[in-house]
Amino acid sequence: MSSGRTIYPKPVLSVFLEPRSVIITSGDLYTSHLHGIDEVTHDVFLGDGRLLCPTGDEVVLSNWRTVRTQNMADVLRYGGTLPRETRLSLTCRDVEKVATPMRGHLPIR
């Protein structure tokens, strides 16, 4: 029997990141909620900031009214598709304790 939690695939929060943007998650948002980027080649928007998720669910982008790039803002407002471009994801963790390698198990330099 598994002791894990049930995963509900519909996001509780979704944001639109313009080129050269960054988002940092921490605290409860980082530790208690799954987070990630759907692996798609384009995003489908239904207007009024609604994103059509790959699962078929709709989610309203939390920041759709603040998007500054005009053509992107128009697609979010009126509907349409936007191609996905290259994205980088970087994870930084604060590690409190680092294990010391045991002889014979890991290379020691």
Confidence of residue 104 (pLDDT cuts 50, 70, 90): low
How close are the terminal C-alpha atoms of the chain, in Å? 42
pTM (2 decimals)? 0.73
> Per-residue pLDDT tens for 55-103?
898 999 999 999 999 999 999 999 999 999 888 877 777 777 766 666 6
Tell me how far apart the alpha carbons of residues 13 and 49 are, in angstroms, rounded to a whole number. 12
A 10 A CB-CB count for 67 gives 20
Distances (CA, A) of 15 to 12, 24, 57, 71, 97: 10, 12, 15, 17, 33
The token pair at 71 is 């053509």
